[in-house]
Amino acid sequence: MKITLSILKADVGSIGGHTKPSDRMLDSVRSDVAAAIGRGLLIDAYVGHTGDDICIIASHTRGENDTEVHQFAWTSFLNATAIATEYGLYGAGQDLLVDAPSGNIRGAGPAVAEIEFEHDPVKTNPIRPAESFMVLAADKCGPGAYNLPMFLGFADPMYCGGLMLPRVGEGFTFNIIDMDNTDGDSLISLNAPEDYYKITVLLRDNERFAIESIVSRYSGETAAAISATRMHNIAGTYTGKDDPVALVRNQGIFPAPEELISPYTKAHYIGGDARGSHVMPLMPVPINTAVTGMYCLPLVSCVGFSLNRDGKFSDSSADFFDNPAWDYVRQIAQEKGIAMRSQGWSGAAMLPYGELEYSGFRTSIGNLVDRFAIRNGKESSAIPEKAGTADD
Q: What is the pLDDT of residues 254-275, one digit of tens each?
A: 999 999 999 999 999 998 887 7
Write the pLDDT tens digit of every residue in 361-386: 777 777 888 888 887 755 554 555 55
Percent of the chain at pLDDT above 90?
71
328 is catalytic: no
User: What H or E segment, with its residue span, contains residue 37?
Assistant: helix 23-38
> Does the predicted model carry a pTM greater than 0.85?
yes
pLDDT over threshold 60, residue 391: no
| Residue of 242, 280, 261, 234 lying closest to 325 (CA atoms) | 261
Lowest mean pLDDT among 42-46, 234-238, 240-244: 234-238
How far apart are alpha carbons 110 and 10 in whole angstroms? Answer: 5
Q: Which pLDDT band holds residue 240 (cuts at 50, 70, 90)?
A: very low
Write the pLDDT tens digit of every residue in 120-135: 999 999 999 999 999 9
Catalytic-labelled residue, pool 11, 44, 95, 139 = 11
DSSP conformation letters of 226-248: E----HHHHHSS--S----EEEE
- The amino acid sitting at 47 is V
CB atoms within 10 A of CB 46: 18
How far apart are alpha carbons 350 and 52 in whole angstroms? Answer: 22
CB atoms within 10 A of CB 126: 10
Residue 344 or 216, more confident: 216
Over residues 224-235, the mean pLDDT reads 69
What pLDDT sits at residue 239?
A: 44
pLDDT over threshold 80, residue 248: yes
11 is catalytic: yes
Write the pLDDT tens digit of every residue in 171-211: 999 999 998 887 778 899 999 999 999 999 999 999 899 99
Q: Which pLDDT band holds residue 3 (cuts at 50, 70, 90)?
A: very high
Catalytic-labelled residue, pool 53, 241, 273, 336 = 241
Write the pLDDT tens digit of every residue in 26-46: 999 999 999 999 999 999 999
Catalytic-labelled residue, pool 159, 238, 264, 269 = 238
Q: Which of 146-155, 289-298, 351-360 has the highest mean pLDDT?
A: 146-155
Write the pLDDT tens digit of every residue in 56-111: 999 999 999 999 999 999 999 999 999 999 999 999 999 888 877 777 888 788 99
pLDDT over threshold 80, residue 346: yes
What pLDDT sits at residue 41?
A: 98
pLDDT over threshold 80, residue 323: yes
Contact 264, 336 (CB under 8 A): no
264 is catalytic: no
What pLDDT sits at residue 114?
A: 98
What pLDDT sits at residue 378?
A: 56
pLDDT over threshold 70, residue 236: no
CB atoms within 10 A of CB 304: 18
Q: pLDDT averaged over the chain?
A: 90
Angle CA(286)–CA(288)–CA(290) in degrees, nearest 5? 100
How far apart are alpha carbons 354 and 74 in whole angstroms? Answer: 31
